[in-house]
Amino acid sequence: MGNLLVALGNLFLPLGNDNYVNMDKVKLITAANAEKVRKYRIERNIDKNSVNFFNGSSDKETRSMILFCDGSICTSSVSAKSLNERANKLAKEIKVVVAKSEDELD
């Protein structure tokens, strides 16, 4: 079971543009554009060069914003709907792995 926890702790959600985030750290995935992200950063005093902000959209259009448990944010050029679908798929895969591992323990 110890190996399973290590594996689950390293589950990463693909954000596009070869960027990934640890699923355990994600608090919210929301639709956003560059203006919405800018307003959010200003309201919370997060500078665009801060360690608390990562532009995962690169030079592509911003379509979503990911909020983390520690208050940091990341943008993505992938839609929030697609990111949520990816996250739900990963969550289902975790349940299958956990269920199979628990069956093997019996």
**52 falls within a domain:** yes
pLDDT digits (tens, 9 = 90+) for 47-65: 989 889 999 988 899 999 9
What would the pLDDT profile of 65-95 be if each residue is shown by its tens digit? 999 999 999 999 999 999 999 998 887 877 6
Residue at 101 is within a domain: no
H-helix or E-strand containing 73? Answer: strand 73-76
Does any domain span residue 98?
A: no
In a domain, 78, yes or no: yes
The reply to whether 14 falls in a domain is yes
Encoding tokens for residue 97? Answer: 């792995």
**Domain with 29 in it:** 2-93
Domains of the chain: total:
1
pLDDT per position as a tens digit, 29-51: 999 999 999 999 999 999 989 88
With CA atoms as reference, report the closest residue to 55 among 12, 87, 10, 16. Answer: 16
